[in-house]
Structure 1
Amino acid sequence: GLHLRENCPSVNLHEFTDCSFIRIDAHVNLGMRTLKMFEEAEILPRVKVKVPQLVTAFQLAEHGIGATFISDKLVTGNESTLHFFKLQSKQAERKYSLLLPHNVYVPNAVIEFIKLFRQ
């Protein structure tokens, strides 16, 4: 959770122009946002491999195949071979919304899920 602190330094994507990247397919939200980050930075990434899932990209990065973008939800703190960076891009943050129908009974399980989600 260090990246969530206001005083956490962030890096510019230009710091990684020499890296080979594991790119996540654009049909995945983070894959699409990754493309936008490179576009914003006016960088053409050196893509070593393209994968369909975040977890696959994460595992390949752990094995030294290349750099990738992942969700902070995958980080456990036990990753000994990886370095994590907070990026200077609005695309690096994702907001979630929950929609519920009006005037309908909401089960307690859903209410508890919403409380957990807000944390």
Structure 2
Amino acid sequence: MKLYQLIYLILFSLLSFGQNQQKTDSLKVNALKLKAESFLPINKDSSFYYYNKIVSYSNSKKYKKGSFIGYDLIANLYYKSNEYEAALTNAKKSYILAKQLKNKKLQGQSENLLAFINFRLN
């Protein structure tokens, strides 16, 4: 009986350390994103604050997809606020991250936003 308990404890302890860290990072980013989006109709400054928290958290954890999400959301918010220079700066950062991630869907999303911003600037 004690042998089974010992084997169970060893297996359980090994499984508890093998959790995926990226899932935790993405959950935190999604929570910050939801919080920011809840402030959009009320106060855009609060949305900027939480979007920037996404970027800083993701950069500290070296979670590139999270950084992409943050920069992309910031660029979109600047674009919708008619602040095209700031939108362009953040959209370029998101595009660079999308290329580093080698994710065609994210690259297309960034290219689309860059096209809209450049259209407004020219």
Q: What is the TM-score normalised by the length of structure 1?
A: 0.23
Larger Rg: 2
Q: Which has the higher helix share?
A: 2
Q: What is the TM-score normalised by the length of structure 2?
A: 0.22
Q: Which has the higher strand share?
A: 1
Higher relative contact order (CA 8 A, sep 6+): 1
